[in-house]
Amino acid sequence: MKHYVGIDLGGTYVKGGVVNENGIIEKFGRIPTRRSEGAECVLKDIERLISDLISDGGYEISGIGMGIPGLVDAKRENIVKAANLGWENVKVADRLKRKFGCPVILSNDANAAGLGEARFGSGAKYSSSVFLTLGTGIGGAVIIDNKLYEGNKSAGAEIGHMVIRAGGNRCACGNEGCFETYASASALVRETRAAMMEHKDSKMWEKGSIDNVSGRTAFEYYFTDETAKKVVDEYIDNLSIGVINVANIFRPEAIILGGGIAKQGKFLTDRVKLKLDAGIFAGKLGPEVEILTASLDEAGVVGAASLNIY
C-alpha cells in the first residue's frame, strides 16, 4: 500500500500525518507554528516534522501534500500569499522535493480539507460535493467528478467571498456583503454580542460577559431565549442564502459543512435543508442536494495527503 504525507499548515499549529491510500492516518504529529520567527523557521520545523513522521514508521513516501491558509501559485508548488501568516511569495515545493525525493503539491487549506471529506469522509459516496468551513471566515472547496476544481491558477472556489448582500457588511477582502461576513463563526459571535448589548434581559448574559460568547452561545439558548433564537434564525437564513447559491451553480450531490458551527449537527443541517429545498431552482423536480456535516477529525491532513492521489 502507498503512503503519503499530509501537512495542514495553520496559524497556530502545523499538523502532519502519514496517510495511506485508503485515507487512514497511520502516524500523526502536531507542532506549534512559530510564525513570529518567519517562514524559513516554520519550513525547517515542517521538514523536521516530516522526517520524524517518516522515520518513526520507516515509511517510504509516494508524495507530500500541504494545505496552506492562502493562495498557491499556478504550479501548486509555492505560496503566493498567506495573509494570516504574513507571508508572500514563499518557495516550498523544491526544497521538500530535494530533501524527501518525492512529488510535492500545495493547495489552499479549505480545498485540501474538502478533498479529504469528499474522498474519505462524509462525501465518500458522492462524486460531486461542495465543502464549506464555517470558521473565522468561510473556506470553500468544489469537488467535481471526485476531483478538486480550483479555478484558474488554483485561485478559485473562494465561496466565502461570494457577495450575498449588495452594500452589506465590509469584508476583510475589501468588498461589501461577502457571504463570510454573515455566515462565518466570527459573524455569528459578532451578532450574538450585538444582540446581547441590545437586549440586557437576554438569558445569554448568564455567560457573564460578551467576552465569553462563542459560536455555540446562541445555539445553547435557542429554546429558552427569544434573543438567542432570533440570532440563530437570522444566521441560518444567511447561511442558507449562500448554500442555495452554491447549490444552484454546481448542483452537487452534497454540500458538506465543516468548522466549529457544523458541530450543531442535525439541528443545523435540518434547518438549512428545509430552506435549501424551498429555495433551490426547480425544487423537488430537480435532483436533491444533501446537507451534511464533516466527519473526519483531520480532514486537512488527510486531504493534503490525497492531493497526490488521482
Q: For binding to Zn ion (CB under 5 A), which residues are involved?
A: 161, 171, 173, 175, 178
Q: How far is the CB of 171 from Zn ion (least distance, A)?
A: 3
CB of 80 to Zn ion, least distance (A): 17
Considering the complex, state which of residue 68 and residue 178 has its C-beta at the smaller distance from Zn ion.
178
CB of 81 to Zn ion, least distance (A): 15
Identify the helix (H) or strand (E) that includes residue 233.
helix 226-250
Residue (173 or 309) nearer to Zn ion, CB: 173
Q: What share of the chain is helix, strand, coil (3-state, %, to 5)?
A: 45, 25, 30
- State the minimum distance, in angstroms, from the CB of residue 86 to Zn ion: 19
- Residue 80 carries which side chain, given as an amino acid letter? V
Distance CA 247, CA 279 (A): 10
CA–CA gap between residue 246 and residue 241 (Å, rounded) = 9
**Alpha helices in 82-210, H assignment, sequence order:** 93-100, 109-120, 180-183, 185-198
Residues 299, 293 contacting (CB under 8 angstroms) = no
Smallest distance from the beta carbon of 12 to Zn ion, in angstroms? 22
Specify whether the CB–CB gap between 15 and 298 falls below 8 A. yes
Contact between residue 306 and residue 120 where contact means Cβ atoms under 8 Å apart: yes
Task: Provide the sign of the torsion angle of the four alpha carbons 262, 266, 268, 270, taken in this order.
Answer: positive
Task: Evaluate the CA torsion angle 17, 18, 21, 26 in order and state its sign.
Answer: negative
| Closer Cβ to Zn ion, 176 or 290, answer by number | 176
Shortest spacing between CB 112 and Zn ion, in angstroms: 21
Query: Do residues 215 and 188 make contact, with C-beta atoms less than 8 angstroms apart?
Result: yes
How many other CB atoms are found less than 10 A from the CB of residue 287? 10
Q: How far apart are CA 239 and CA 76, in angstroms?
A: 30
Q: How far is the CB of 194 from Zn ion (least distance, A)?
A: 20
Residue closer to Zn ion by CB (options 181, 240) is 181
Place of cell 424551498: 278
For Zn ion, give the closer residue by CB, 175 or 295. Answer: 175
**Cβ of residue 137: shortest distance to Zn ion, in angstroms?**
8
- Report which DSSP code applies to 209: S
Nearer to Zn ion, 71 or 210 (CB): 71
Nearer to Zn ion, 112 or 178 (CB): 178
Nearer to Zn ion, 29 or 177 (CB): 177
Say if strands 64-68 and 104-108 run parallel, antiparallel, or are unpaired: parallel
